[in-house]
Amino acid sequence: MLSPAQVAQTAEDAAYGKATSKPLKSFMLGLTGGAFIALGFVFYTTSQVGAENLAWWGGAKVVGGIAFATGLVLVVLTGAELFTSSTLTLTARASGRITWAQLFRNWGVVYVANFAGALTILALVYLGGVWRNANGAWGGVVLHSALAKVQHTYVEAFTLGILCNLMVCLAVWAAYSGRTATDKILAVTMPVALFVSTGFEHSVANMFMIPLGLLIKDNAGAGFWSGAGLVKADFADLTWAHFVLHNLVPVTLGNIVGGGIMIGIFYWTIFRRYRTTDHP
């Protein structure tokens, strides 16, 4: 395993590589990143069907968190790009190895690509009728999750975004220390399970979960609502405006602070600030 100082250098080198990559390559890797995180949420949703009836509710959430971690494991092992972990490119900027223009170009390209990848999986899940599984209970999990996410205050959403990417970037940072796939899987799984099970907010995951909830709410027929035992009027707060203004914007900003600053810049200050002559 690498030492903490070596991990910091590896993370900075990876950040430099991301920020200087061709935009098309970043976009394609971003598509896969968004898709993998969406698939992680598909797995999470399946794990939560019927969980509300379990006596040990917290345990069910932990299981869901481990299921969701599949998405980030796939991102790490395949080299996909994810906006939340791309906030670590601030380390390469702090060392003067990239420009602000390169940093923001990478963030913008990956963010849009993640959204496109997440929506691609959304379309497949919706058209495949997965949301009707278990007599509509699968879709019910999506609806309840999406509703809870848009009912946060701006401050809550921002803070939960900080906490989420604190854990995501810690997971990615720790994965840099591993030399084998097993090392990386172990490094990623529990930090991700922590943030998911506790309800922290991940901007890319929400690009899948909330729009899917909106699609179900706006298009499901009476048979779905009666089968799932739900009332459409109870989800009145689940709107596109609430998605963007009450969740996506503050969560994205929180993700930048939690990952880029509280992990990236913090560890750069400890291990790399006085060693920037290592690289041009």
Residues 6+ positions from 247 with CB-CB distance below 8 Å? 149, 150, 152, 157, 201, 206, 210
Q: Is residue 280 part of a domain?
A: no
**pLDDT single digits (tens) 133-145:** 999 999 999 999 9
Question: CA-to-CA distance for 206 and 118, rounded, in angstroms?
Answer: 9
**pLDDT single digits (tens) 108-134:** 999 999 999 999 999 999 999 999 999
Question: CA-to-CA distance for 157 and 210, rounded, in angstroms?
Answer: 14
- Residue 272 has a pLDDT of 87
Q: How confident is the model at residue 172 (pLDDT cuts 50, 70, 90)?
A: very high
Question: CA-to-CA distance for 147 and 241, rounded, in angstroms?
Answer: 13
**pLDDT single digits (tens) 230-249:** 999 999 999 999 999 999 99
Could you tell me the CATH number of the domain that includes residue 214? 1.20.1080.10
What is the tally of helices (H) and strands (E) in the chain?
14, 0
- Residue 133 has a pLDDT of 96
Q: Is residue 41 part of a domain?
A: yes
pLDDT surpasses 60 at 277:
no
- Residue 275 has a pLDDT of 66
**pLDDT single digits (tens) 52-71:** 877 777 899 999 999 999 99
Q: How confident is the model at residue 6 (pLDDT cuts 50, 70, 90)?
A: very high
What's the DSSP call for residue 2? -
Q: Is residue 279 part of a domain?
A: no
- Residue 44 has a pLDDT of 98
Q: How confident is the model at residue 22 (pLDDT cuts 50, 70, 90)?
A: very high
| Overall domain count for the chain | 1
pLDDT surpasses 90 at 80:
yes
Question: CA-to-CA distance for 120 and 136, rounded, in angstroms?
Answer: 22
pLDDT surpasses 50 at 280:
no
- Residue 176 has a pLDDT of 96
Q: How confident is the model at residue 173 (pLDDT cuts 50, 70, 90)?
A: very high
Q: Which of 143, 152, 150, 190 is nearest to 171 (CA)?
A: 190
Q: Is residue 278 part of a domain?
A: no
Q: How many CB atoms lie within 10 A of CB 227?
A: 17
The separation between CA 239 and the C-alpha centre of its own chain, rounded to angstroms, equals 21
- Residue 51 has a pLDDT of 86
Q: Is residue 144 part of a domain?
A: yes
**pLDDT single digits (tens) 212-227:** 999 999 999 999 999 9
Q: Is residue 224 part of a domain?
A: yes
Alpha helices in 79-153 (DSSP H): 83-86, 90-94, 100-127, 137-150
Query: What is the extent of the structural domain holding 145?
Result: 4-273
Region 81-87: what's the mean pLDDT? 98
